[in-house]
Structure 1
Amino acid sequence: MTPLELAARSLCNNEGHDPDRVGLSNNGDHYWTTYVGKARAVLEALREPSEAMLEAVYREMRFDDGTALKAWQRMIDAALEEG
């Protein structure tokens, strides 16, 4: 299961819907698929880590040359492409 699907399923479930429900109102697809756009928006928003997130990596990993930022962004980009 991709991060995009996991996020969409979580949003769907959070609003009280069964992610695995299939119905005519969503063209015969699982209900979670109607949340993919919202999940994509969340992942895109998370593409920029907070200063606290970067500082935590810098403290633990001992590098601050932008590597953490690049790695984070590449992982988010890959999650968006994978979906």
Structure 2
Amino acid sequence: MSMVEKVARALCNIEVGEGGCDAIMADGSAQWQAYIPDVITVLKAMRKPTPAMVDAGAQLCDAAYSGKAVHAAWQAMIDAALDGEG
């Protein structure tokens, strides 16, 4: 399951309740799929980490990694999620 699907199902579960998100809508898609545009918007907004996020990541990494490397790694992870790889 991709990250986009995982988050879309989570948002659907908040609104519809557990188990209701696999219901088929009039257009033939599962109900959770209606949340995909919202998930993509949120992931795009998260693509640029805050300085505090970069600092937190840098503290967990070897000293060889700079804030720029942590920033790039975060963006690569978000990009993978947006591309359906994550």
For this structure pair, what is the TM-score category when the shorter chain's length is used for normalisation? 0.7 to 0.9
> 1:40 aligned to 2:75?
no
Q: Which amino acid in 1 is paired with 2:57?
A: V
Gap runs ≥5 in structure 1: none
Q: Deviations over 1:31-75 (max 9, x none)?
A: 001010001001111111121111112222123251111111011
Kindly, what percent of the aligned residue pairs are identical? Answer: 36
Partner of 2:75: 73
Cα RMSD for the two superposed structures: 1.5
C-alpha distance in structure 2 between counterparts of 1:50 and 1:74, whole Å: 15
TM-score normalised according to structure 2 size: 0.84
Which aligned segments of 4 or more residues in structure 1 are displaced greater than 2 angstroms? none
| Aligned positions, number | 81
Gap runs ≥5 in structure 2: none
Partner of 1:11: 11
TM-score normalised according to structure 1 size: 0.87
Q: Which amino acid in 1 is paired with 2:13?
A: N
